[in-house]
Amino acid sequence: MRRYGACLLCWLSIALVCGRSWNSQKSFWTISGIPSFNSQSATFTYIRIIDDGLTKKEIDASDLTFKIDFGKPIGTPVTVSCGQGKTCVNWMQQNLITAQLVKSEADTSSLWQPGLSKTWSEITVKGPSHSYTFNHKGEQLFGGPVEDLYPSNLDVKEHAPYTTSEGGHHFKNTADAVVERVWYTSGGRGIRVSEETPLFIDSNEERLVLSAKNELPYPTSNPLVSSRITMVVEENVKKAWIAMNANLRKVSPPEISVRKAMISTWVAFKRDITQQKVIDFAKTIKSKQLDIGIIGVDDGWETCYGSQIFDKTKFPDPKAMVDELHQMGHTVTLWVHPFVNLECEAHDRLKDYLVKYDDGTILTSTWWNGQGGMINFLNESAVEFYTNRLRKLQEDYDLDGFKFDAGEVSYIYGLNQNFTLAYPNSWTRSYVEMAAQFGPLGEVRVGAGTPNANIRQRLQDLNSVWSVEGHGLAAVIPAMLGLTVAGYGATIPDMIGGNAYNEEVGKELYVRWMQLNTFLPVMQFSILPWSFDDETLKLTQNSIALHEEYSPYMMDLFYDTGLLPVVSPLWMIEPNTKEALTCNDEFLVGDQILVAPVVKQGAVTRDVYFPAGVWKDMETGTVYEGPKTVKDFPAPLTKLPWFVRQRFATTP
């Protein structure tokens, strides 16, 4: 038995399987070429074979090459025998094994449904810092942090720690609020990184580099780095997505949250809300014949941030308010968060439940409503306390659900300098799992390993501007598609018209935003349509009615046991064309409704790409057969271009 070097240990297992392509009369194989090894890296290439029943043809698979790099020489690679069904490569230095690679067969049944996966690899590495490099030049990349750019190869990241953070779309060196560790390429690769891997990402138009390093914000004491990735190789991105999500459990939101529009008090009142204002708000909504289901009581109801006690000077009888809203036919939710501000008397009283540094000092975090401590959702007692406190709020006031704000681990300053957390995203995951106990009427804006959580996932707060760069209207579709790619189904596109922080919202921006939301799972209002003019109110009433008319189809998709998403990228029905792969201003509802809203200021026409199929304009009755692009499609302010699929086109 050889001794292992104390400084390095690395092993790698790769399994290759082949079979008939899913839902196709063709079959394909992806077989490994001869791998190459040198003193610091291993490179794997593949050959893809297509069999149409008559001939077998080798096709270019250079896009499937990937490299594992230790960044420095670690010894001489030597191939050795290491057991039945396994091939090993040891890196040797002065008669010691400094690293080891193991290639072995693996059981796919635990990862994917039988028959869906074709070629897959499970790779585990232990040793010094290392990286996995996937070149995707000429392909499109999907997945990674949910941001405003789609496909993901448009989103440049540089050595970004893969932990939840607010506003990552503005910075190259941070991720964002939703960070599922999965990527896809248009050529059919699916790549998933384990939650325990201390992951950093570099990404651009040509390559994706996944690095494993024991550097901040991860623990730094262990000289050995562990990582694990899983890769599936399919014919295209759609089939790779299906294979990687075969065990995905769909979240089915309550029908009221999909069928009816919702409205928040946030933009209308900001923090200046009272019980009387909420009641008057609801009465005005009713008088304007706006068909609203959920009313969300937002920021401004607590005595201080973190007390979770109604301010009785503003809300003298919260139960009476909720009862009246219920009598008016509304469902009522309440805004909550994980902070306890310094000036709040609860800060001292709840000190045992707050995040503390290793020396026992209570963490102080800065957030948009001041400075305070944070509930430690990795502490079972804290989770129990916070959960019980929310349940008491529900029982005392008959509340229907909660809007859970924040939850990004980036609010824990000094992470793994003063506060040790082996897996930083576990704090976010625990927060989401706690919130999910209150059911799918609730909503969160963060995610890390939580697509299966029984709660709705919303986008981060949007600004009341047009551009992608400003995190405005044009960012909605890319971000919603990003949530779909990440595995989230019950999604919320934030507020129509944005949050109106410092911007003046005009009629055109409001109407175009409302049109875009008509065929998304949730229409959430906060800016009041009657504040513009009667035409805007009428357009809003019509959009709400249209949304409700087609909501049964959305609910059918939620309840269906298949994987077809409610908000689908065009490649769900056309996975092999550049137009469908790169389209970021249209989306599908399932595979039957095509929506092409206007997202550019001043535009009254737009180009519409019709994917394969026959599509009917439900307003004019005109039929369009795809795949093709119709230039300058008429879209005056009063028109949302949307189309219903009439029949399936035959795919060669």
Residue 259 above 80 pLDDT? yes
* Residue 249 pLDDT level (bands cut at 50, 70, 90): confident
Task: Give 607-647 pLDDT, tens digit per residue.
Answer: 999 999 999 999 999 999 999 999 999 999 999 999 999 97
Please give the structure tokens belonging to residue 153. 């190869």
What H or E segment, with its residue span, contains residue 92? strand 86-93
Range name among 46-50, 205-209, 592-596, 614-618 with the lowest pLDDT average: 46-50
String of DSSP letters for 220-257:
---SSEEEEEEEEE-SSHHHHHHHHTTTPPPP---HHH
Per-residue pLDDT, averaged over 131-153, amounts to: 93
* Residue 36 pLDDT level (bands cut at 50, 70, 90): confident
CA distance 554 to 557: 5
- Classify the C-alpha dihedral 192-481-139-239 as positive or negative: positive
211 and 218 in contact (C-beta within 8 Å)? no
C-alpha dist (Å) from residue 62 to 185, 207, 336, 453, 563: 13, 13, 50, 37, 30
* Residue 63 pLDDT level (bands cut at 50, 70, 90): low
369 and 341 in contact (C-beta within 8 Å)? yes
What is the torsion angle, in degrees rounded to the nearest 10, for the CA atoms of residue 58, residue 61, residue 64 and residue 67? 100
pLDDT of the residue at 51: 66
* Residue 119 pLDDT level (bands cut at 50, 70, 90): low
Per-residue pLDDT, averaged over 523-551, amounts to: 97
Per-residue pLDDT, averaged over 515-521, amounts to: 98
Q: What residue type is 298 in one-letter code?
A: D
Model confidence, pTM: 0.91
DSSP state of 178: B
479 and 146 in contact (C-beta within 8 Å)? yes
Find how far residue 447's CA is from the centre of its chain. Answer: 7
pLDDT of the residue at 3: 30
Q: Classify 442 as helix, strand or coil.
A: coil
Residue 111 above 80 pLDDT? no
Per-residue pLDDT, averaged over 362-373, amounts to: 96
Q: Classify 80 as helix, strand or coil.
A: strand
CA distance 453 to 458: 13
* Residue 233 pLDDT level (bands cut at 50, 70, 90): confident
* Residue 86 pLDDT level (bands cut at 50, 70, 90): low
What H or E segment, with its residue span, contains residue 545? helix 534-559
485 closest CA partner among 109, 48, 120, 140: 140
Residues forming beta bridges with residue 277, ordered by sequence position: none
pLDDT over 70, % of the chain: 87
Residue 254 above 80 pLDDT? yes
362 and 320 in contact (C-beta within 8 Å)? no
pLDDT of the residue at 20: 32
608 closest CA partner among 590, 637, 633, 644: 633
User: Considering the chain, what is the average pLDDT of its residues?
Assistant: 88
pLDDT of the residue at 489: 94
CA distance 395 to 435: 16
Per-residue pLDDT, averaged over 355-375, amounts to: 94
